[in-house]
């Protein structure tokens, strides 16, 4: 994979947050995209943030779905903001494509 593939996956995670479904299913869908990112394609400065975000999405449950079911709305909102922030920071750190 290349950096552009990492951007594609993180962008898809951010886009997964849009829609009519409840926030928990949207975060679960976003998690699938984030988990598909090859860490070697992410700038070192963002790799730990990506790993922490993925871990936080599943914290407290055997599955991401169970973890999200235990979270309050404020915690889920915070996770959604972190996904969008990661996407923005990733775009800013990568060189522009010709």
Tens of pLDDT, residues 29-62? 999 999 999 999 999 999 999 999 999 999 998 9
List C-alpha distances in Å: 5 to 9, 37, 63.
6, 8, 25
Query: Quick one: pLDDT band at residue 94, thresholds 50, 70, 90?
Result: confident
Query: Quick one: pLDDT band at residue 81, thresholds 50, 70, 90?
Result: very high
**Number of folded domains that form the chain:** 1
98 in a domain, yes or no?
Answer: no
pLDDT at 97 over 70: no
Range of the domain at 57: 3-93
14 in a domain, yes or no?
Answer: yes
Q: Which helix (H) or strand (E) holds 8?
A: helix 3-16
Q: How far apart are CA 40 and CA 42, in angstroms?
A: 6
Q: Looking at residues 4-16, what average pLDDT do you find?
A: 95
Spell out the residues 6+ positions from residue 65 whose beta carbon is closer than 8 angstroms to its own: 24, 28
pTM of the model as a whole: 0.92
Q: Provide the 10 A C-beta neighbour count for residue 14.
A: 20
Query: Quick one: pLDDT band at residue 1, thresholds 50, 70, 90?
Result: very low
Residue of 59, 42, 54, 49 whose CA lies nearest to 94: 42
Query: Quick one: pLDDT band at residue 69, thresholds 50, 70, 90?
Result: very high
39 in a domain, yes or no?
Answer: yes
32 in a domain, yes or no?
Answer: yes
8 in a domain, yes or no?
Answer: yes
């Amino acid at each position: 994979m290349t950096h552009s593939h990492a951007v594609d996956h993180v962008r898809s995670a951010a886009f997964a947050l849009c829609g009519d479904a409840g926030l928990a299913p949207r975060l679960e869908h976003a998690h699938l995209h984030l988990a598909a990112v090859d860490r070697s394609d992410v700038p070192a400065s963002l790799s730990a943030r990506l790993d922490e975000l993925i871990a936080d999405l599943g914290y407290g449950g055997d599955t991401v779905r169970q973890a999200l079911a235990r979270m309050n709305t404020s915690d889920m909102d915070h996770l959604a903001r972190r996904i969008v922030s990661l996407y923005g920071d990733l775009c800013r750190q990568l060189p522009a494509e010709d």
